[in-house]
Chain A
């Protein structure tokens, strides 16, 4: 069974009303349970759990330290392109946003890479819009060949691809794929994505299955907080996570919590998710799933990020730019959204240390990926030998 089939057996309104009818008794049961279920998750994200926030935070802190230690992984996005043929009413890259578009050339990519390496980054996330005639698998493959040896860990957040295409990128050294459903409310999804390939809800819903089948190491899930009722949407995301973990048991998973941010020409959020609610959601995920990575980006404010470190998160981006060439090449190009925490990465690393945590810059080695990407082995071995000669 694929997730789509499981999803088709559910009903948004029923799940929503089941979440909103959870009581303090359900929350207490969820809190005291050793193995928490999806029903427990519903209770933990319900309004009934709001008075239990401090208890949830303490438990989330302890569970996270037990599994991940006192560490926070650092990464940064590198936007390769803002070309996009989709209309998404909340996104700065939306096709109908008549602003000059840019896709980085090889030379430009290397300039951005040099800058990010200088800052100390070893884990990187490549981001694009969806422009299948120019920013396609051959382009991604070329970029991977260009930068594979520059970073320990490379993730992508690009248009959904076919299983075989993920296979190609996996072999080329891509470690993880992030693909957010945005919202699991099918009708609402159609309204936010009126045009372009992205308007196909089901193809997107099937994407993590295709990643899993292609052997991608880590799959990142999420919803865009601000589009629909966040509790119901988060339940579906947790259901998706649960299904994937059972089906592709060799794969790691991460959850991100993007809250809508201002951007050029976009709509206002339909739902405001407050700081208190976001903390509840982060803690609920941790209590539900002890080993999922939880990621918080620079969309969040300095104030929020200063305090969120011990609450269950494992991964943070820092010093981010959301436009292609934003670091060096073309700082003024169209950005996807305005970031909120603009502090440089050195400052975020210091913040992590001051919170009693270790900032981890490297937690993967490309030599593992190499075993699937056979064709690069000899080239890679040479690099290894050179390095150890130093």
Chain B
């Protein structure tokens, strides 16, 4: 169990719902993953018809929606989209995404901080997508964020934990849950993030684009659980050389 805002979650695997070949396939993968928190792009949801296909496939009592502001290029657009999402999806949870760069979809730290400050005042539970920037994480904490979502690698690249050194610092320093988002391309990447002490991971492309998304979702579920278990069990320290004797201080025992 861990907590974000006032919500207790059993699963430490969050899913993105884009990129799947069909809503049915997406639903099967979400169910197989055991995830209780899935992110949905406001821009993909049709708020005007009562039967949005994407949302219809996410109607399960254990699944919480995490609307995201993908498409917003600055704080102003994101704050507006957030309010719209709150009304439409009836949740004050928000994955804050501000990427003015449509090529690598890299998050804008300045606008993200600005938006977090404003949204916190408006009562949102904010999970911002950010660079693996430890200082920014602390600034976001001060601004009232509920968690931080640093990237492992550029979104959709499946490259794994390219930002490893910075993720370690963030995890060490953070007072809010750390969710590694973006770049996680295989279950071993997810397990690694969990072993480092991340509170959760968010995965989309690696599952959605797999040949068998449902099975891949299950593989990620197991990896996340095993990584977390290893973290809690306490991993042995990594040593660069064998510790057979104490040649420098051995004389003290004589």
Q: Which residues of B contact A362 (CB under 8 A)?
A: 43-46
B102 near A251: Cβ-Cβ < 8 Å: yes
Q: Which residues of A contact B208 (CB under 8 A)?
A: 69-70
A67: interface (CB < 8 Å): yes
Q: Which residues of A contact B102 (CB under 8 A)?
A: 250-252, 291
Q: Which residues of A contact B76 (CB under 8 A)?
A: 371
- The chain A residue with its CB closest to the CB of B185 is A66
- The chain A residue with its CB closest to the CB of B102 is A252
13 interchain pairs, CB-CB under 8 A: A66-B157, A68-B19, A69-B19, A69-B20, A70-B20, A71-B21, A245-B103, A291-B102, A358-B23, A362-B43, A362-B44, A364-B71, A371-B77
B110: interface (CB < 8 Å): no
Alpha-carbon distance between A387 and B87 when the two chains are bound, in angstroms:
10
| Chain B residues with a Cβ closer than 8 Å to the other chain, count | 37
Q: Which residues of A contact B74 (CB under 8 A)?
A: 371
A66 near B80: Cβ-Cβ < 8 Å: no
The 7 closest A-B pairs by CB, nearest first: A69-B19, A70-B21, A252-B102, A365-B43, A371-B77, A388-B87, A65-B209
A122 near B46: Cβ-Cβ < 8 Å: yes
Distance in Å from the Cβ of A322 to the closest Cβ of chain B? 27
B18 near A69: Cβ-Cβ < 8 Å: yes
A66 near B48: Cβ-Cβ < 8 Å: no
A368 near B71: Cβ-Cβ < 8 Å: yes
Query: Interface residues, chain A, CB within 8 Å of chain B?
Result: 65-71, 122, 152, 245, 249-252, 291, 353, 356-358, 360-365, 367-368, 370-371, 384-385, 387-388, 390
Distance in Å from the Cβ of B191 to the closest Cβ of chain A? 21
Q: A122-B46, A353-B22, A361-B46 are in contact. Are A370 and B80 (CB under 8 A)?
A: yes
Alpha-carbon distance between A357 and B22 when the two chains are bound, in angstroms:
6
Alpha-carbon distance between A66 and B183 when the two chains are bound, in angstroms:
11
Alpha-carbon distance between A390 and B46 when the two chains are bound, in angstroms:
13
A363 near B44: Cβ-Cβ < 8 Å: yes
- The chain B residue with its CB closest to the CB of A293 is B102
B20 near A358: Cβ-Cβ < 8 Å: yes
B44 near A357: Cβ-Cβ < 8 Å: no
Q: A70-B208, A249-B101, A358-B20 are in contact. Are A367 and B81 (CB under 8 A)?
A: yes
A368 near B77: Cβ-Cβ < 8 Å: yes
Q: Give the most central of A358, A361, A387: most B CB within 10 Å.
A: A358
Distance in Å from the Cβ of B226 to the closest Cβ of chain A? 26
Distance in Å from the Cβ of A68 to the closest Cβ of chain B? 7
Q: Give the most central of B22, B42, B158, B205: most A CB within 10 Å.
A: B22
Alpha-carbon distance between A245 and B81 when the two chains are bound, in angstroms:
26
Alpha-carbon distance between A213 and B84 when the two chains are bound, in angstroms:
28
- The chain B residue with its CB closest to the CB of A253 is B102
- The chain A residue with its CB closest to the CB of B99 is A250
- The chain A residue with its CB closest to the CB of B42 is A365
Alpha-carbon distance between A250 and B43 when the two chains are bound, in angstroms:
18
Alpha-carbon distance between A66 and B185 when the two chains are bound, in angstroms:
10
Contact of B156 among A66, A245, A358 (CB under 8 A): A66
Q: A362-B46, A365-B71, A387-B47 are in contact. Are A70 and B84 (CB under 8 A)?
A: no
Q: Which residues of A contact B140 (CB under 8 A)?
A: none
Q: Which residues of A contact B165 (CB under 8 A)?
A: none
Q: Which residues of A contact B18 (CB under 8 A)?
A: 69, 71
B84 near A384: Cβ-Cβ < 8 Å: yes
Alpha-carbon distance between A353 and B24 when the two chains are bound, in angstroms:
11
